[in-house]
Amino acid sequence: MDTFLEQFSEPADDSWTFPGHLSTNHLTHGYHRYPAKFVPLLVQKLIEEYTNKNDKIVDIFAGCGTTLVESKIHGRESIGVDVNPVAQLITKAKITPISPEKLTTSNLIIFDQIKEFNFSELYFSTKHERIDYWFRFEEKNKIAYLQRIIQLVDDDDLRIFYSCALSNILKTCSKWLQSSTKPQIDPKRNEDIPDPFEKFIIQVKRMTKKNLEFYEHLVEKEYLFTKCEIHNADARNTGIEENSIGAIITSPPYVTSYEYADIHQLTGYWFDFIKEISSFRKDFIGTFYSKNENKDVEPPIAKNIVSQLEEKSDKYAREIAKYFNDMFDVSKEMFRILKPGGTACLVIGNTKLKGVEITSAQAFMEMFLLSGFEMSKVIKRQITRKLIPTIRDKDTGKFTTLGDENKQEVYPEEYIIIAKKKYGFS
């Protein structure tokens, strides 16, 4: 264990930084914004170095499906798991290549139907009060019309493709402060909200080009039918068969970083994923709303972090304890589903809260060992381009984008923990 703890203080490995290769939006990767999504090149390198051709790859925190898209273009079967139905919708669209001819024909029909919109007709019927909070009537009525057209599309793949396109324009067409990832009304945003039809058409055309790129790549490599699935499930209990997976490539929610349930609420309300936000939040790991009371944590590194936090803030201590206990369950689940000889690659950064170093990477490494894994390697990498907040307010601990004396950098680098399930274990 000590040998591996020492690796955390070694300099960052430049071969994992990918300077000059910053595209995160090629192929279907660019379908939809998503906070803290993987750099595709990082996943590509992990696939190339730590998986074999016949390995089935799992991402148990699949997010918008970067691992799955990369697995498919490398001809590896894959399964993604995410508790967020919005992640499932986006990923499903991104891993589903559509015949370019079929898509182009369908687009023409959809664009024609948009022209039939009647300004004096009411398409929007009361859905959720939060939609009324976020949208003006004009945009609501047009979005409702788009949703109606999409729901009439018979073909599942096309319907998901258009639903993903619609989901990605919701923020732009709402009163949400555009520069903020977190939900916040822009009081100045009233007259300059873009037209949902224009935005939708642009988005569909953009995605159509990306689908073509993806489709042609898969045809050329003969990976069009490589299996790839996304499940709306919990990383602590994935439902995946035990000893069945060759490799796990994943990145968990960073502690108290993003409230995914809140960030994705526009799609959540429009697509009826959310009835009531507090019950929707409850299965997300890393949320600050868990109302957890139990501060007992078993793995020693995590336990030590919680007891240091206890002196600063009882609420923080309880929330971080819950995070570590959840992640310990995740580590056991990862061990259960991996085949003997299988590899787990987990990407995570450390941070500071209330002046306490939250060394999640070291804590997870210890959890891996306690779950039965054998450590292979710890890689430190500099974060170049990942949609992740880098400034935290020293007092409140909340992420912010402004820099002044009271702010501090977090996650300037992150770690890739590589562990193996030894042969003879099952």
Q: Which residue in the set 34, 135, 162, 323 belongs to the binding site for ligand SAM (CB under 6 A)? A: 34
**Residue 64 or 365 with smaller CB distance to ligand SAM:** 64
Q: Which residue in the set 31, 61, 368, 373 belongs to the binding site for ligand SAM (CB under 6 A)? A: 61
Q: Which residue in the set 97, 196, 246, 253 belongs to the binding site for ligand SAM (CB under 6 A)? A: 253
- The Cα 180–Cα 184 span in angstroms is 7
Stretch that binds ligand SAM, among 34-42, 335-343, 370-378, 400-408 (CB under 6 A): 34-42
Q: Is residue 251 within the footprint of ligand SAM (CB under 6 A)?
A: yes
**Residue 285 or 344 with smaller CB distance to ligand SAM:** 285
Paired tokens of 364:
């997870």
Q: Show the CA angle centred on residue 227, arms to residues 40 and 63, nearest 5°.
A: 40
**Residue 131 or 255 with smaller CB distance to ligand SAM:** 255
**Residue 260 or 324 with smaller CB distance to ligand SAM:** 260
**Residue 283 or 310 with smaller CB distance to ligand SAM:** 283
**Residue 146 or 344 with smaller CB distance to ligand SAM:** 344
Smallest gap from residue 63 Cβ to ligand SAM (A): 2
Show contacts with ligand SAM in window 69-128 (CB under 6 A): 81-84, 87
Smallest gap from residue 225 Cβ to ligand SAM (A): 23
Show contacts with ligand SAM in window 319-348 (CB under 6 A): none
The answer to whether 383 touches 344, Cβ cutoff 8 Å, is no
Q: Is residue 66 within the footprint of ligand SAM (CB under 6 A)?
A: yes
Paired tokens of 382:
């500099």
Stretch that binds ligand SAM, among 58-66, 188-196, 268-276, 299-307 (CB under 6 A): 58-66
Show contacts with ligand SAM in window 212-241 (CB under 6 A): 234-235
Smallest gap from residue 289 Cβ to ligand SAM (A): 12
Smallest gap from residue 238 Cβ to ligand SAM (A): 8
**Residue 213 or 329 with smaller CB distance to ligand SAM:** 329
Show contacts with ligand SAM in window 367-426 (CB under 6 A): none
**Residue 76 or 175 with smaller CB distance to ligand SAM:** 76
The answer to whether 369 touches 328, Cβ cutoff 8 Å, is no
- The Cα 314–Cα 306 span in angstroms is 9
The answer to whether 135 touches 175, Cβ cutoff 8 Å, is yes
Q: Is residue 37 within the footprint of ligand SAM (CB under 6 A)?
A: yes
Task: Tally Cβ neighbours within 10 Å of residue 406.
Answer: 13
- Count interface residues toward ligand SAM (CB under 6 A): 21
Q: Which residue in the set 95, 204, 207, 285 belongs to the binding site for ligand SAM (CB under 6 A)? A: 285
Q: Which residue in the set 4, 214, 284, 323 belongs to the binding site for ligand SAM (CB under 6 A)? A: 284
Stretch that binds ligand SAM, among 57-65, 114-122, 311-319, 335-343 (CB under 6 A): 57-65
| Closest residue to ligand SAM: CB criterion | 63
- The Cα 303–Cα 289 span in angstroms is 20
- b/e sequence 299-318, b meaning 16+ C-beta within 10 Å: bebbbebbebbbeeeeebbb
Tell me which residues touch ligand SAM (CB under 6 A).
34, 36-38, 61, 63-64, 66, 81-84, 87, 234-235, 251, 253, 260, 283-285
